[in-house]
Amino acid sequence: MQPREKTHSHSHSVMTLKEKEKYIVNFKFPFCDDTAKYEKVAKIGQGTFGEVFKAKEKANPKKLVAMKKVLMDNEKEGFPITALREIRILQRLKHENVVNLIEICHKRASQQNKCLSTFYLISEFCEHDLAGLLSNINVKFNLGEIKKVMQQLLNGLYYIHSNKILHRDMKAANVFITKNGVLKLADFGLARAFSANKNGQPNRFTNRVVTLWYRPPELLLGERNYGPPVDLWGAGCIMAEMWTRSPIMQGNTE
């Protein structure tokens, strides 16, 4: 008699796969608009963790946005922590020289997409990235323009560092420029908050950050207690690149 009691109560508490799927498909995310409000125009690249599309708002077709898909394929624990971190950081940062996150949208879960909701980071659309401009021989920068690029780059960095955020992936490809010439720091997929520890304990951050060619010496030598200077090294590499037109330290190995 007893074991039957047990299994009986057990079956009530566990959702069947069908019920689970139905629950997920019908679930409404109250603070996330549906991606249907945007229409994809073209695929424009791959970010640290997902594809990026150029899209326009259906209600206002003149308004262009970038839609960055959050990769969920290898997630066992719900929402990817890297994406969550990037979203939280971008929500905190509002500055002319930092790319603006407009909202998070989701595509409804359905039988077609294995009952996984797809999420997109919707941000302002920037026509160019600095790496693309520098590799284009038809684009010329005069001294004044190089100064203007660097001024905006350093303004953006000063702002994020003042807000206790490290970018940790400074490179020409992550520096966007709008058609009006406004520079935006982008791709905060490796960024993190930092603080000086109160008790004088050193930080233990990972040193496996920053694309190799832009990685500062202290990280290459294994330092884990670092701060804003790691981003400034990258800014210096980018500044030199404004003249050389290609990364100045293209090492193959650490």
Residues with a catalytic annotation lie at: 169
- According to DSSP H, which parts of 14-80 are helical? 17-26
Q: Under 8 Å CB-to-CB from 182, ≥6 apart: which residues?
A: 96, 97, 152
Opening angle at CA 119, ends 113 and 120, nearest 5: 125
Strand positions, DSSP E, the chain: 33-34, 38-47, 50-57, 60-69, 101-107, 118-124, 128-129, 165-166, 175-177, 183-185, 192-193
Task: Note whether 98 and 161 are within 8 A (CB).
Answer: no
Count other Cβ atoms within 10 Å, centred on residue 224. 12
Q: With H, G, I as helix, E, B as strand and everything else as coil, classify residue 241.
A: helix
Q: Report, in this order, helix, strand and coil percent for the chain, each rounded to 5.
A: 35, 20, 45
Residue 184 marked as a ligand binder: no
Quick one: which of 144, 36, 159, 148 has its CA closest to 95?
A: 159
State both tokens at 47: 């970010």
Binding site feature residues: 68
Binding site feature residues for ATP: 68
